[in-house]
Amino acid sequence: MSPNFKRPRKILSPPPVKGFKPYGPDLGRENGEPVMLLFEEYEALRLCDYDMLNHHHASQEMGVSRPTFTRIYASVRQKIARAFVEGRQIIMEGGKVYFDSGWYHCVSCTCLFNNPDMEQEVTACPLCGSEDVGTSDALPDNAYIHPGTEDVCMCPACGMEVKHQPGRPCGQQTCPSCNTRMKRKGTPGCRK
């Protein structure tokens, strides 16, 4: 039996830190392997415990089902509890995710990529290093864009569409007509 296809989870932005280290009188002794938190687990924790969203709304933000979100959320809470109780280091990295940020393409290798560090300008392709990089506005006709990453921001309440501004996540913009937080067109919760 083959495993189920795992859809990428939408992350508003990467964590501001790469992890946490415990400190105290027993700092010198080895406390075991670090606890690895995936980016989607960090996002689930941020949405529920920091932004105070319920599981239904948080699952819509991440583009996953509510039961899948609940499993991700339970996993991150268990990992954090293990790190606290056992005094382990926490490292945040990896996972099958995409960031809600501007998309770019490389003319040389046709790689599509985004820029999670929005304060830093994109100057080269992360795959081949070519400086011949264009914004998503100039994507070639044969380029593949992951579903849900269209170049339009949409209001989930009234359906108003505005052109996406590269480097500025849709979730950080508000609808000009009804003041609701915008979403990328094609993500769960947006009118089609």
Residue 83, SS3 per DSSP: helix
Tokens representing 3? 């495993």
First to last CA, the chain: 34
Q: What pLDDT was estimated at residue 147?
A: 40
Residue 140 confidence (pLDDT) above 50: no
Contact 37, 76 (CB under 8 A): yes
Q: Identify the CA nearest to 95 among candidates 7, 163, 24.
A: 7
Contact 35, 90 (CB under 8 A): yes
In this prediction, residue 134 has a pLDDT band, given cuts at 50, 70 and 90, of confident
Handedness of CA 73, 74, 75, 81 (dihedral sign): positive
Mean pLDDT over 107-119 rounds to 69
Rounded CA-CA distance 177/164 in Å is 16
Can you list the alpha helix ranges (DSSP code H) found in the chain? Answer: 39-45, 55-62, 66-86
pLDDT in tens, 15-68: 888 899 888 776 655 667 899 999 899 999 999 999 899 999 999 888 888 999
Q: What pLDDT was estimated at residue 188?
A: 52
Low-confidence winner among 79-88, 90-99, 116-125, 156-165 (lowest mean pLDDT): 116-125
Rounded CA-CA distance 137/29 in Å is 53
Q: Identify the CA nearest to 189 among candidates 62, 7, 43, 14.
A: 62
Residue type, 177: S
